[in-house]
Structure 1
Amino acid sequence: MIQLAFYGKGGIGKSTTVSNLAAALSEKGLRVVQIGCDPKADSTLNLCHGKRIPTVMETCRKHNDDFKLSDVVVKSDVGVYCAETGGPIPGVGCAGRGVISALEKLKAKGLYETLSPDVVLYDVLGDVVCGGFAMPMRRQYAQSVYILTSGEAMSIYAAANIAMAVDRFKKRHYAGLGGFIVNRYHSEEDIAQVAHMAGQFHSGIVGRLPDDEIVKKADQAHDIVLRMAGDSPLAETYRKLAECIYARECGSESC
Protein backbone atom coordinates (compact mmCIF):
# COMPACT_ATOMS: atom_id res chain seq x y z
CA MET A 1 0.00 0.00 0.00
CA ILE A 2 1.33 3.41 -1.02
CA GLN A 3 0.34 6.37 1.18
CA LEU A 4 1.10 9.94 0.14
CA ALA A 5 0.48 13.29 1.84
CA PHE A 6 -0.03 16.49 -0.15
CA TYR A 7 0.68 19.90 1.37
CA GLY A 8 0.79 23.47 0.08
CA LYS A 9 -0.29 27.04 0.65
CA GLY A 10 -4.05 27.51 1.03
CA GLY A 11 -5.72 28.20 -2.32
CA ILE A 12 -2.90 26.71 -4.38
CA GLY A 13 -5.26 24.14 -5.93
CA LYS A 14 -4.23 21.19 -3.80
CA SER A 15 -7.64 19.52 -3.55
CA THR A 16 -8.25 19.95 -7.27
CA THR A 17 -4.90 18.37 -8.05
CA VAL A 18 -5.24 15.52 -5.57
CA SER A 19 -8.76 14.69 -6.78
CA ASN A 20 -7.63 14.46 -10.39
CA LEU A 21 -4.58 12.39 -9.44
CA ALA A 22 -6.84 10.06 -7.45
CA ALA A 23 -9.15 9.65 -10.43
CA ALA A 24 -6.18 9.02 -12.73
CA LEU A 25 -4.84 6.30 -10.43
CA SER A 26 -8.31 4.75 -10.24
CA GLU A 27 -8.42 4.69 -14.06
CA LYS A 28 -5.32 2.48 -13.92
CA GLY A 29 -7.33 -0.11 -12.01
CA LEU A 30 -5.91 0.77 -8.59
CA ARG A 31 -8.05 0.93 -5.46
CA VAL A 32 -7.67 4.53 -4.28
CA VAL A 33 -8.71 6.32 -1.08
CA GLN A 34 -8.65 10.11 -0.75
CA ILE A 35 -8.82 11.56 2.77
CA GLY A 36 -9.39 15.27 3.25
CA CYS A 37 -7.60 16.54 6.38
CA ASP A 38 -9.19 19.97 6.68
CA PRO A 39 -12.03 21.27 8.89
CA LYS A 40 -13.64 22.72 5.73
CA ALA A 41 -14.20 19.14 4.54
CA ASP A 42 -14.12 20.09 0.86
CA SER A 43 -11.27 17.93 -0.47
CA THR A 44 -13.58 15.36 -2.06
CA LEU A 45 -16.36 17.79 -2.98
CA ASN A 46 -15.75 17.72 -6.73
CA LEU A 47 -15.24 13.95 -6.79
CA CYS A 48 -18.76 13.70 -5.33
CA HIS A 49 -20.38 16.21 -7.73
CA GLY A 50 -20.60 18.92 -5.06
CA LYS A 51 -22.20 16.70 -2.43
CA ARG A 52 -20.64 16.97 1.01
CA ILE A 53 -20.09 13.65 2.73
CA PRO A 54 -20.46 13.14 6.51
CA THR A 55 -17.15 13.90 8.20
CA VAL A 56 -15.58 11.61 10.76
CA MET A 57 -15.63 14.28 13.46
CA GLU A 58 -19.28 15.26 13.05
CA THR A 59 -20.28 11.59 12.92
CA CYS A 60 -18.38 10.95 16.15
CA ARG A 61 -20.16 13.89 17.80
CA LYS A 62 -23.54 12.53 16.76
CA HIS A 63 -23.03 8.83 17.35
CA ASN A 64 -19.89 8.49 19.51
CA ASP A 65 -18.43 5.19 18.30
CA ASP A 66 -21.73 3.73 17.12
CA PHE A 67 -21.28 3.98 13.37
CA LYS A 68 -19.89 1.92 10.49
CA LEU A 69 -17.01 2.69 8.16
CA SER A 70 -19.52 3.00 5.32
CA ASP A 71 -21.16 5.91 7.16
CA VAL A 72 -18.08 8.08 6.61
CA VAL A 73 -16.53 6.61 3.45
CA VAL A 74 -18.25 7.15 0.10
CA LYS A 75 -17.24 5.64 -3.23
CA SER A 76 -17.41 8.19 -6.05
CA ASP A 77 -18.50 7.35 -9.59
CA VAL A 78 -14.87 7.43 -10.73
CA GLY A 79 -14.05 4.65 -8.27
CA VAL A 80 -12.25 6.73 -5.62
CA TYR A 81 -13.19 6.09 -1.99
CA CYS A 82 -13.69 9.45 -0.27
CA ALA A 83 -13.42 10.45 3.40
CA GLU A 84 -13.21 13.76 5.26
CA THR A 85 -11.79 14.16 8.75
CA GLY A 86 -13.71 17.38 9.39
CA GLY A 87 -12.98 19.38 12.52
CA PRO A 88 -14.31 20.65 15.83
CA ILE A 89 -17.27 22.96 16.31
CA PRO A 90 -16.03 26.47 15.36
CA GLY A 91 -14.53 28.17 18.38
CA VAL A 92 -14.36 24.94 20.35
CA GLY A 93 -11.46 22.48 20.38
CA CYS A 94 -8.35 22.10 18.25
CA ALA A 95 -8.56 21.42 14.52
CA GLY A 96 -5.19 19.68 14.51
CA ARG A 97 -6.25 17.38 17.31
CA GLY A 98 -9.37 16.66 15.29
CA VAL A 99 -7.26 15.39 12.39
CA ILE A 100 -5.39 13.07 14.75
CA SER A 101 -8.61 11.73 16.26
CA ALA A 102 -10.28 11.27 12.87
CA LEU A 103 -7.37 9.40 11.29
CA GLU A 104 -7.11 7.17 14.34
CA LYS A 105 -10.86 6.52 14.17
CA LEU A 106 -10.71 5.57 10.47
CA LYS A 107 -7.89 3.19 11.28
CA ALA A 108 -9.83 1.70 14.21
CA LYS A 109 -12.88 1.23 11.99
CA GLY A 110 -10.77 -0.90 9.66
CA LEU A 111 -10.34 1.45 6.71
CA TYR A 112 -7.10 -0.13 5.53
CA GLU A 113 -8.08 -3.75 6.18
CA THR A 114 -11.62 -3.44 4.80
CA LEU A 115 -10.85 -1.52 1.61
CA SER A 116 -7.33 -2.89 1.07
CA PRO A 117 -6.35 0.21 -0.91
CA ASP A 118 -3.41 0.28 -3.29
CA VAL A 119 -3.00 4.03 -2.80
CA VAL A 120 -4.11 6.43 -0.06
CA LEU A 121 -3.87 10.18 -0.66
CA TYR A 122 -4.03 12.62 2.26
CA ASP A 123 -5.02 16.17 1.28
CA VAL A 124 -3.81 18.28 4.21
CA LEU A 125 -4.88 21.76 5.27
CA GLY A 126 -2.86 24.62 3.78
CA ASP A 127 0.66 25.20 4.97
CA VAL A 128 0.07 24.25 8.60
CA VAL A 129 2.65 21.64 9.58
CA CYS A 130 2.47 21.73 13.37
CA GLY A 131 0.55 19.48 15.74
CA GLY A 132 -2.21 17.39 14.23
CA PHE A 133 -1.65 18.62 10.69
CA ALA A 134 1.72 16.87 10.72
CA MET A 135 -0.07 13.60 11.53
CA PRO A 136 -0.26 12.41 7.88
CA MET A 137 3.52 12.78 7.67
CA ARG A 138 4.02 9.98 10.17
CA ARG A 139 5.33 6.81 8.60
CA GLN A 140 2.38 4.66 9.61
CA TYR A 141 0.27 6.96 7.42
CA ALA A 142 2.46 8.26 4.58
CA GLN A 143 5.75 7.29 3.03
CA SER A 144 6.21 10.51 1.05
CA VAL A 145 5.13 14.15 1.12
CA TYR A 146 4.48 16.07 -2.09
CA ILE A 147 4.31 19.87 -1.92
CA LEU A 148 2.29 22.00 -4.31
CA THR A 149 3.42 25.51 -5.12
CA SER A 150 3.22 28.14 -7.82
CA GLY A 151 5.93 30.57 -8.86
CA GLU A 152 4.39 33.26 -6.64
CA ALA A 153 6.60 34.41 -3.78
CA MET A 154 4.28 33.58 -0.87
CA SER A 155 3.51 30.15 -2.30
CA ILE A 156 7.23 29.35 -2.59
CA TYR A 157 7.78 30.66 0.94
CA ALA A 158 5.06 28.36 2.28
CA ALA A 159 6.43 25.41 0.28
CA ALA A 160 9.91 25.99 1.72
CA ASN A 161 8.50 26.04 5.26
CA ILE A 162 6.74 22.73 4.69
CA ALA A 163 9.91 21.23 3.21
CA MET A 164 11.87 22.37 6.27
CA ALA A 165 9.33 20.66 8.51
CA VAL A 166 9.59 17.44 6.52
CA ASP A 167 13.37 17.63 6.79
CA ARG A 168 13.23 18.10 10.57
CA PHE A 169 10.69 15.30 11.01
CA LYS A 170 13.01 12.81 9.28
CA LYS A 171 14.75 12.26 12.61
CA ARG A 172 11.44 11.07 14.03
CA HIS A 173 11.05 8.53 11.22
CA TYR A 174 8.35 10.53 9.45
CA ALA A 175 7.68 10.53 5.70
CA GLY A 176 10.31 11.76 3.27
CA LEU A 177 10.01 14.54 0.72
CA GLY A 178 8.76 13.12 -2.57
CA GLY A 179 9.14 16.34 -4.51
CA PHE A 180 7.40 19.51 -5.65
CA ILE A 181 4.47 19.98 -8.02
CA VAL A 182 4.29 23.35 -9.75
CA ASN A 183 0.65 24.35 -10.19
CA ARG A 184 -0.73 27.23 -12.23
CA TYR A 185 2.61 28.08 -13.75
CA HIS A 186 2.76 30.78 -16.42
CA SER A 187 6.37 30.79 -17.53
CA GLU A 188 9.71 29.04 -17.37
CA GLU A 189 10.72 31.67 -14.84
CA ASP A 190 8.14 30.21 -12.44
CA ILE A 191 9.63 26.77 -12.98
CA ALA A 192 13.16 28.06 -12.44
CA GLN A 193 12.24 29.73 -9.14
CA VAL A 194 10.64 26.56 -7.79
CA ALA A 195 13.53 24.42 -9.07
CA HIS A 196 16.00 26.66 -7.23
CA MET A 197 14.06 26.33 -3.99
CA ALA A 198 13.67 22.56 -4.44
CA GLY A 199 17.41 22.20 -4.95
CA GLN A 200 18.01 23.67 -1.51
CA PHE A 201 16.24 20.60 -0.11
CA HIS A 202 18.05 18.16 -2.43
CA SER A 203 14.76 17.60 -4.23
CA GLY A 204 13.19 18.51 -7.53
CA ILE A 205 10.05 19.15 -9.53
CA VAL A 206 8.01 16.04 -10.30
CA GLY A 207 5.15 17.72 -12.14
CA ARG A 208 4.11 20.92 -13.93
CA LEU A 209 0.46 21.90 -14.17
CA PRO A 210 -0.36 24.99 -16.26
CA ASP A 211 -2.88 27.67 -15.36
CA ASP A 212 -5.76 26.29 -17.43
CA GLU A 213 -9.29 27.66 -17.75
CA ILE A 214 -10.64 24.10 -17.73
CA VAL A 215 -9.80 23.82 -14.03
CA LYS A 216 -11.94 26.85 -13.22
CA LYS A 217 -14.83 25.52 -15.30
CA ALA A 218 -14.63 22.13 -13.60
CA ASP A 219 -14.54 23.72 -10.13
CA GLN A 220 -17.56 25.87 -10.94
CA ALA A 221 -19.42 22.74 -12.04
CA HIS A 222 -18.30 20.81 -8.92
CA ASP A 223 -16.50 18.39 -11.20
CA ILE A 224 -12.99 17.15 -11.91
CA VAL A 225 -11.09 17.63 -15.15
CA LEU A 226 -10.75 13.90 -15.81
CA ARG A 227 -14.52 13.47 -15.76
CA MET A 228 -15.61 16.72 -17.41
CA ALA A 229 -12.84 17.01 -20.01
CA GLY A 230 -11.20 13.60 -20.02
CA ASP A 231 -9.77 14.04 -23.52
CA SER A 232 -8.17 17.42 -22.82
CA PRO A 233 -4.40 17.98 -22.73
CA LEU A 234 -4.66 18.91 -19.04
CA ALA A 235 -6.38 15.61 -18.22
CA GLU A 236 -3.50 13.82 -19.90
CA THR A 237 -1.05 15.89 -17.85
CA TYR A 238 -2.76 14.73 -14.65
CA ARG A 239 -2.58 11.13 -15.86
CA LYS A 240 1.12 11.36 -16.63
CA LEU A 241 1.83 12.96 -13.25
CA ALA A 242 -0.14 10.25 -11.44
CA GLU A 243 1.76 7.56 -13.34
CA CYS A 244 5.06 9.28 -12.59
CA ILE A 245 4.39 9.54 -8.85
CA TYR A 246 3.13 5.97 -8.65
CA ALA A 247 6.20 4.69 -10.48
CA ARG A 248 8.51 6.69 -8.20
CA GLU A 249 6.85 5.30 -5.10
CA CYS A 250 7.12 1.77 -6.48
CA GLY A 251 10.82 2.40 -7.02
CA SER A 252 10.69 1.77 -10.75
CA GLU A 253 11.16 5.26 -12.18
CA SER A 254 12.16 8.83 -11.43
CA CYS A 255 10.78 11.96 -13.05
Structure 2
Amino acid sequence: MYYIVLLILRESFIFMLNGDILKQIAFYGKGGIGKSTTVCNLAAALSKSGKKVIVVGCDPKHDCTSNLRSGEDIPTVLDVLREKGIDKLGIETIIRENLLKKEDIIYEGFNGIYCVEAGGPKPGYGCAGRGVIVVIDLLKKMNVFEDLDVDVVLYDVLGDVVCGGFAMPLRMGLADQIYVVTSSDYMALYAANNICSGISQFVKRGGSTLGGIIYNVRGSMDAFDIVSEFANQLNANIIGKVPNSPIINEAEIDGQTAIEYAPEEEISKIYMELAESIYQNNTGTMPNPLENAQIMQIGKMIKERIKKQKITE
Protein backbone atom coordinates (compact mmCIF):
# COMPACT_ATOMS: atom_id res chain seq x y z
CA MET A 1 0.00 0.00 0.00
CA TYR A 2 2.82 2.41 0.89
CA TYR A 3 4.46 2.02 -2.51
CA ILE A 4 1.11 2.44 -4.28
CA VAL A 5 0.65 5.77 -2.48
CA LEU A 6 4.14 6.86 -3.54
CA LEU A 7 3.40 6.02 -7.17
CA ILE A 8 0.12 7.94 -7.06
CA LEU A 9 1.86 10.95 -5.54
CA ARG A 10 4.60 10.77 -8.13
CA GLU A 11 2.23 10.65 -11.08
CA SER A 12 0.13 13.48 -9.71
CA PHE A 13 3.16 15.78 -9.72
CA ILE A 14 3.71 15.47 -13.46
CA PHE A 15 1.97 18.63 -14.63
CA MET A 16 1.55 20.47 -17.91
CA LEU A 17 1.11 24.19 -17.30
CA ASN A 18 0.33 26.38 -20.32
CA GLY A 19 2.14 23.84 -22.49
CA ASP A 20 5.27 23.89 -20.30
CA ILE A 21 6.40 21.16 -17.95
CA LEU A 22 6.66 22.24 -14.33
CA LYS A 23 10.29 21.82 -13.29
CA GLN A 24 10.96 20.54 -9.78
CA ILE A 25 14.48 20.62 -8.38
CA ALA A 26 15.77 19.48 -4.99
CA PHE A 27 18.95 20.65 -3.29
CA TYR A 28 20.88 18.64 -0.71
CA GLY A 29 24.14 19.20 1.15
CA LYS A 30 25.86 19.15 4.50
CA GLY A 31 24.36 21.46 7.10
CA GLY A 32 26.01 24.89 7.11
CA ILE A 33 27.43 24.51 3.62
CA GLY A 34 25.40 27.43 2.25
CA LYS A 35 22.61 25.39 0.68
CA SER A 36 19.74 27.69 1.69
CA THR A 37 21.77 30.72 0.60
CA THR A 38 22.31 29.05 -2.76
CA VAL A 39 18.65 28.08 -3.14
CA CYS A 40 17.39 31.58 -2.30
CA ASN A 41 19.79 33.22 -4.74
CA LEU A 42 18.86 30.76 -7.47
CA ALA A 43 15.19 31.43 -6.80
CA ALA A 44 15.83 35.18 -7.03
CA ALA A 45 17.77 34.69 -10.26
CA LEU A 46 15.04 32.56 -11.84
CA SER A 47 12.38 35.09 -10.85
CA LYS A 48 14.43 37.91 -12.40
CA SER A 49 14.56 35.93 -15.65
CA GLY A 50 10.75 35.85 -15.72
CA LYS A 51 10.01 32.50 -14.06
CA LYS A 52 7.32 32.00 -11.46
CA VAL A 53 9.10 30.30 -8.57
CA ILE A 54 8.08 28.62 -5.35
CA VAL A 55 10.61 27.61 -2.69
CA VAL A 56 9.62 24.78 -0.36
CA GLY A 57 11.77 24.78 2.77
CA CYS A 58 12.17 21.25 4.11
CA ASP A 59 14.15 22.01 7.26
CA PRO A 60 12.41 21.90 10.69
CA LYS A 61 14.31 25.10 11.59
CA HIS A 62 12.01 26.78 9.02
CA ASP A 63 14.56 29.41 7.98
CA CYS A 64 15.15 28.32 4.38
CA THR A 65 13.25 31.24 2.85
CA SER A 66 14.24 34.02 5.27
CA ASN A 67 16.60 35.71 2.79
CA LEU A 68 13.69 36.11 0.41
CA ARG A 69 11.62 37.93 3.05
CA SER A 70 13.98 40.44 4.70
CA GLY A 71 14.90 37.90 7.36
CA GLU A 72 11.30 37.35 8.48
CA ASP A 73 10.12 33.87 9.39
CA ILE A 74 6.80 32.55 8.13
CA PRO A 75 4.38 30.13 9.81
CA THR A 76 5.18 26.53 9.00
CA VAL A 77 2.72 24.17 7.35
CA LEU A 78 2.77 21.79 10.32
CA ASP A 79 2.19 24.59 12.85
CA VAL A 80 -0.77 25.90 10.86
CA LEU A 81 -2.22 22.42 10.45
CA ARG A 82 -1.93 21.82 14.18
CA GLU A 83 -3.83 25.04 14.81
CA LYS A 84 -6.51 23.83 12.40
CA GLY A 85 -6.82 20.56 14.31
CA ILE A 86 -5.11 18.11 11.97
CA ASP A 87 -4.58 15.59 14.78
CA LYS A 88 -8.34 15.22 15.20
CA LEU A 89 -9.70 16.11 11.79
CA GLY A 90 -7.06 14.96 9.31
CA ILE A 91 -5.96 16.75 6.13
CA GLU A 92 -8.89 15.59 4.02
CA THR A 93 -11.48 17.13 6.38
CA ILE A 94 -9.52 20.36 6.74
CA ILE A 95 -9.41 20.79 2.97
CA ARG A 96 -12.99 19.65 2.34
CA GLU A 97 -14.40 22.08 4.90
CA ASN A 98 -12.19 24.93 3.64
CA LEU A 99 -10.52 25.34 7.02
CA LEU A 100 -7.19 26.05 5.33
CA LYS A 101 -6.49 28.67 2.69
CA LYS A 102 -3.42 28.92 0.49
CA GLU A 103 -2.49 32.25 2.05
CA ASP A 104 -2.28 30.51 5.44
CA ILE A 105 0.82 28.62 4.34
CA ILE A 106 2.13 30.41 1.24
CA TYR A 107 3.79 33.82 1.51
CA GLU A 108 5.28 36.05 -1.14
CA GLY A 109 8.89 37.10 -1.00
CA PHE A 110 11.32 39.00 -3.19
CA ASN A 111 10.09 39.61 -6.73
CA GLY A 112 6.93 37.58 -6.18
CA ILE A 113 8.64 34.34 -5.18
CA TYR A 114 6.27 32.06 -3.26
CA CYS A 115 7.64 30.74 0.03
CA VAL A 116 6.57 27.65 1.99
CA GLU A 117 8.16 26.21 5.12
CA ALA A 118 7.28 22.62 6.00
CA GLY A 119 8.36 22.84 9.62
CA GLY A 120 8.59 19.87 11.97
CA PRO A 121 6.86 18.13 14.85
CA LYS A 122 6.74 19.41 18.39
CA PRO A 123 10.17 19.10 20.04
CA GLY A 124 10.70 15.53 21.22
CA TYR A 125 7.76 14.15 19.23
CA GLY A 126 7.74 12.31 15.94
CA CYS A 127 10.02 12.29 12.92
CA ALA A 128 11.10 15.62 11.46
CA GLY A 129 10.78 14.12 7.99
CA ARG A 130 7.02 13.98 8.51
CA GLY A 131 6.80 17.67 7.66
CA VAL A 132 8.15 17.03 4.17
CA ILE A 133 5.68 14.22 3.53
CA VAL A 134 2.74 16.25 4.84
CA VAL A 135 3.57 19.44 2.93
CA ILE A 136 4.05 17.68 -0.40
CA ASP A 137 0.79 15.81 0.01
CA LEU A 138 -1.01 18.99 1.04
CA LEU A 139 0.33 21.08 -1.84
CA LYS A 140 -0.84 18.37 -4.22
CA LYS A 141 -4.31 18.12 -2.74
CA MET A 142 -4.74 21.91 -2.78
CA ASN A 143 -3.55 22.16 -6.42
CA VAL A 144 -1.09 24.84 -5.37
CA PHE A 145 1.34 24.58 -8.26
CA GLU A 146 -1.45 24.58 -10.82
CA ASP A 147 -3.41 27.43 -9.26
CA LEU A 148 -0.32 29.61 -8.84
CA ASP A 149 0.85 28.69 -12.36
CA VAL A 150 4.45 28.27 -11.21
CA ASP A 151 7.27 27.31 -13.56
CA VAL A 152 9.81 26.07 -11.03
CA VAL A 153 9.68 24.41 -7.61
CA LEU A 154 12.86 24.46 -5.55
CA TYR A 155 13.05 22.07 -2.57
CA ASP A 156 15.59 23.07 0.08
CA VAL A 157 16.15 19.79 1.92
CA LEU A 158 17.64 19.38 5.39
CA GLY A 159 21.39 18.77 5.46
CA ASP A 160 22.71 15.41 4.35
CA VAL A 161 19.73 13.39 5.58
CA VAL A 162 18.51 11.01 2.88
CA CYS A 163 16.13 8.87 4.90
CA GLY A 164 12.44 9.14 5.71
CA GLY A 165 10.59 12.23 4.55
CA PHE A 166 13.79 14.08 3.68
CA ALA A 167 14.50 11.52 0.97
CA MET A 168 11.05 11.94 -0.54
CA PRO A 169 12.04 14.31 -3.40
CA LEU A 170 14.67 11.85 -4.64
CA ARG A 171 13.15 8.55 -3.54
CA MET A 172 9.94 8.83 -5.51
CA GLY A 173 11.32 10.77 -8.45
CA LEU A 174 9.36 13.84 -7.37
CA ALA A 175 12.17 16.19 -8.34
CA ASP A 176 13.31 16.23 -11.95
CA GLN A 177 16.86 16.48 -10.69
CA ILE A 178 18.89 16.60 -7.52
CA TYR A 179 21.75 19.03 -7.00
CA VAL A 180 24.29 18.60 -4.23
CA VAL A 181 25.93 21.68 -2.74
CA THR A 182 29.44 21.20 -1.39
CA SER A 183 32.63 23.04 -0.56
CA SER A 184 36.15 21.61 -0.66
CA ASP A 185 35.90 20.78 3.05
CA TYR A 186 36.37 17.06 3.67
CA MET A 187 33.20 16.60 5.71
CA ALA A 188 31.18 18.44 3.08
CA LEU A 189 32.48 16.07 0.39
CA TYR A 190 31.93 13.10 2.70
CA ALA A 191 28.31 14.16 3.16
CA ALA A 192 27.93 14.75 -0.60
CA ASN A 193 29.16 11.23 -1.22
CA ASN A 194 26.59 9.83 1.24
CA ILE A 195 23.81 11.75 -0.46
CA CYS A 196 24.90 10.42 -3.84
CA SER A 197 24.92 6.92 -2.44
CA GLY A 198 21.24 7.36 -1.63
CA ILE A 199 20.55 8.85 -5.06
CA SER A 200 22.22 5.91 -6.80
CA GLN A 201 19.99 3.45 -4.95
CA PHE A 202 16.77 5.34 -5.65
CA VAL A 203 17.57 5.92 -9.34
CA LYS A 204 17.40 2.16 -9.82
CA ARG A 205 13.78 2.29 -8.62
CA GLY A 206 12.73 5.26 -10.68
CA GLY A 207 14.03 7.99 -8.38
CA SER A 208 15.57 11.31 -9.37
CA THR A 209 18.93 11.57 -11.09
CA LEU A 210 21.87 13.73 -10.06
CA GLY A 211 21.80 16.97 -12.03
CA GLY A 212 25.22 17.96 -10.81
CA ILE A 213 27.46 19.35 -8.08
CA ILE A 214 27.37 23.00 -7.06
CA TYR A 215 30.79 23.99 -5.75
CA ASN A 216 30.24 26.65 -3.10
CA VAL A 217 33.60 28.04 -1.96
CA ARG A 218 33.79 28.48 1.80
CA GLY A 219 36.62 30.01 3.79
CA SER A 220 40.00 30.88 2.32
CA MET A 221 40.73 27.62 0.49
CA ASP A 222 39.54 27.22 -3.08
CA ALA A 223 40.40 23.68 -4.21
CA PHE A 224 38.43 23.37 -7.41
CA ASP A 225 40.78 20.71 -8.73
CA ILE A 226 40.08 18.46 -5.73
CA VAL A 227 36.32 18.93 -6.01
CA SER A 228 36.62 18.26 -9.73
CA GLU A 229 38.49 15.02 -9.05
CA PHE A 230 35.79 14.03 -6.58
CA ALA A 231 33.09 14.78 -9.15
CA ASN A 232 34.88 12.78 -11.85
CA GLN A 233 35.12 9.72 -9.62
CA LEU A 234 31.50 10.21 -8.66
CA ASN A 235 30.33 10.32 -12.30
CA ALA A 236 28.96 13.81 -11.78
CA ASN A 237 29.28 17.19 -13.43
CA ILE A 238 30.11 20.42 -11.63
CA ILE A 239 27.23 22.56 -12.84
CA GLY A 240 28.71 25.72 -11.40
CA LYS A 241 31.08 27.35 -8.93
CA VAL A 242 30.05 30.06 -6.47
CA PRO A 243 33.10 32.01 -5.21
CA ASN A 244 33.43 33.26 -1.68
CA SER A 245 32.13 36.82 -1.78
CA PRO A 246 31.63 39.33 1.05
CA ILE A 247 28.52 40.53 -0.80
CA ILE A 248 26.75 37.30 0.15
CA ASN A 249 27.33 37.88 3.87
CA GLU A 250 26.43 41.55 3.65
CA ALA A 251 23.18 40.68 1.92
CA GLU A 252 22.25 38.03 4.49
CA ILE A 253 22.74 40.48 7.35
CA ASP A 254 19.96 42.50 5.72
CA GLY A 255 17.91 39.35 5.14
CA GLN A 256 18.39 39.52 1.39
CA THR A 257 19.88 37.59 -1.48
CA ALA A 258 22.94 38.95 -3.25
CA ILE A 259 20.76 39.48 -6.32
CA GLU A 260 18.40 41.76 -4.41
CA TYR A 261 21.15 43.48 -2.41
CA ALA A 262 23.67 44.07 -5.19
CA PRO A 263 22.27 43.05 -8.58
CA GLU A 264 25.17 44.56 -10.55
CA GLU A 265 27.93 42.80 -8.62
CA GLU A 266 29.79 39.89 -10.19
CA ILE A 267 28.48 37.39 -7.64
CA SER A 268 24.91 38.17 -8.68
CA LYS A 269 25.79 37.60 -12.32
CA ILE A 270 27.30 34.24 -11.36
CA TYR A 271 24.07 33.23 -9.63
CA MET A 272 22.10 34.32 -12.70
CA GLU A 273 24.28 32.18 -14.97
CA LEU A 274 24.08 29.20 -12.60
CA ALA A 275 20.29 29.45 -12.39
CA GLU A 276 20.02 29.44 -16.17
CA SER A 277 22.37 26.45 -16.46
CA ILE A 278 20.29 24.51 -13.95
CA TYR A 279 16.99 25.46 -15.56
CA GLN A 280 18.20 24.46 -19.03
CA ASN A 281 19.82 21.23 -17.86
CA ASN A 282 17.59 18.30 -18.74
CA THR A 283 20.15 15.55 -18.21
CA GLY A 284 21.21 13.70 -15.10
CA THR A 285 23.44 10.84 -14.07
CA MET A 286 23.34 7.93 -11.71
CA PRO A 287 26.23 8.69 -9.37
CA ASN A 288 28.89 6.14 -8.57
CA PRO A 289 29.57 6.83 -4.88
CA LEU A 290 33.17 6.57 -3.76
CA GLU A 291 34.33 3.69 -1.65
CA ASN A 292 35.77 4.45 1.77
CA ALA A 293 39.37 4.21 0.53
CA GLN A 294 38.62 6.64 -2.29
CA ILE A 295 36.97 9.24 -0.10
CA MET A 296 39.84 8.92 2.38
CA GLN A 297 42.27 9.64 -0.47
CA ILE A 298 40.31 12.78 -1.27
CA GLY A 299 40.66 13.70 2.39
CA LYS A 300 44.43 13.28 2.21
CA MET A 301 44.56 15.57 -0.81
CA ILE A 302 42.68 18.22 1.15
CA LYS A 303 44.98 17.78 4.14
CA GLU A 304 48.06 18.32 1.98
CA ARG A 305 46.51 21.39 0.38
CA ILE A 306 45.78 22.89 3.81
CA LYS A 307 49.39 22.30 4.88
CA LYS A 308 50.74 23.98 1.76
CA GLN A 309 48.43 26.92 2.23
CA LYS A 310 49.62 27.43 5.81
CA ILE A 311 53.23 27.41 4.68
CA THR A 312 52.63 30.11 2.08
CA GLU A 313 50.65 32.35 4.44
Structure having the higher Rg = 2
Q: Which residue of 1 aligns with 2:282?
A: 249
CA contact (8 A) 2:171 2:199 kept: no
Contact 1:23-1:79 within 8 A present in 2 as well: no
Deviation at 1:150, TM superposition (A): 0.2
Q: Which residue of 2 aligns with 1:13?
A: 34
Deviations 1:104-155 (A, max 9, x none): 1121121122112111000000000111100111455201000000001000
Cα distance in 2 between the residues matched to 1:89 and 1:81? 25
TM score, norm. by length of structure 2: 0.77
Structure 2 Cα separation of the partners of residues 235 and 104 of structure 1? 34
Question: 2:50 is matched with which residue?
Answer: 29
Residue 215 (str. 1) matches residue 248 (str. 2): yes
Secondary structure at the aligned position of 2:147 is classed as helix
Q: How far did 1:77 drift?
A: 3.2
Secondary structure at 1:35's aligned position in 2?
A: strand
Partner amino acid, structure 1, of 2:188: S
CA contact (8 A) 1:15 1:43 kept: yes
TM-score, normalisation: structure 1: 0.94
Question: Which 5+ residue runs of structure 2 have no aligned equivalent?
Answer: 1-21, 87-93, 285-313
SS at match of 2:180: strand
Corresponding residue to 1:108 among 127, 138, 141: 141
Q: Does the CA-based 8 Å contact 1:185-1:208 persist in structure 2?
A: no
Structure 1 distance, partners of 2:131, 2:222, is 39
SS at match of 2:160: coil
Structure with bigger helix share is 2
1:111–1:221 Cα change, 3 Å: same
Is contact 2:58-2:131 (8 Å) kept?
Answer: no
Paired amino acid for 2:111: V
Corresponding letter in the other structure for 1:209: V
Amino acid at match of 1:194: V
1:123 is matched with which residue: 119, 132, 156? 156
Secondary structure (helix, strand or coil) at the match of 2:110 reads: coil
SS in 2 for 1:78: helix
Write the letter of the residue equivalent to 1:162. Answer: I
1:74 equivalent in structure 2: 107
Question: 2:66 — aligned with what?
Answer: 45
Instruction: State the SS of the aligned residue for 1:95.
Output: coil
Amino acid in structure 1 at the alignment position of 2:44: A
- Please tell me the residue identity of whatever aligns with 1:157: Y
Does the aligned pair in 1 maintain the 2:66–2:255 contact within 8 Å? Answer: yes
- Tell me the distance in 1 between the aligned counterparts of 2:101 and 2:223: 46
